[in-house]
Amino acid sequence: MPFVQIYLADHLSKKNKKDISTAVHHSLVNIFNVPVDDYFQVIHAMPAEDIVSPDSYFNVPHTNNLLYIRITAKTGRTVEMKKQLYQSIAAKIAATTPVSEDDVIIVLVENELADWSFGRGIAQMA
């Protein structure tokens, strides 16, 4: 049930966007055990100058390919699973796009089952 928002520069191609989306989803399926059809994402493409960050943070350099991935998911994963997820996403994106692992920033926001509605105004999992 993760909901993923991806913020990236509009100079990245349609194929790059699809590859980034797929990398995130496959990592969620493989590491967080998310069902394959649980695929809810929004990609926000914007001018690179609208994506703000320092040139380097925690000694990790950033370029104009920087992207932010915000994943909202049900609480309950271990710290080790989260670390594996972040590494998997960054590696898969770097392997298939011009975005380096350094330019992948991930924020995980956790919530409870009652915090989700999948239509009709019903909290289906509450």
47 part of the active site: no
The pLDDT score that the predictor gives to residue 1 is: 81
Choose the catalytic residue: 2, 35, 47, 54.
2
Long-range CB contacts (within 8 A, 24+) of 109-116: 109/70, 109/71, 109/72, 109/73, 110/72, 110/73, 110/74, 110/75, 110/76, 110/77, 111/72, 111/73, 111/74, 111/75, 112/74, 112/75, 113/74, 116/1, 116/74
The pLDDT score that the predictor gives to residue 92 is: 98
The model's pTM is 0.95
Each residue of 65-121: pLDDT tens digit? 999 999 999 999 999 999 999 999 999 999 999 999 999 999 999 999 999 999 999
Q: CATH number of the domain that 17 lies in?
A: 3.30.429.10
- Please give the residue range of the domain that contains residue 35: 3-115
The pLDDT score that the predictor gives to residue 42 is: 98
- Tell me, yes or no, whether 124 lies in a domain: no
User: Mean pLDDT throughout 26-42?
Assistant: 97
User: Looking at the 3D structure of the chain, how many domains does it have?
Assistant: 1
What percent of the chain lies above the pLDDT cut of 70? 100
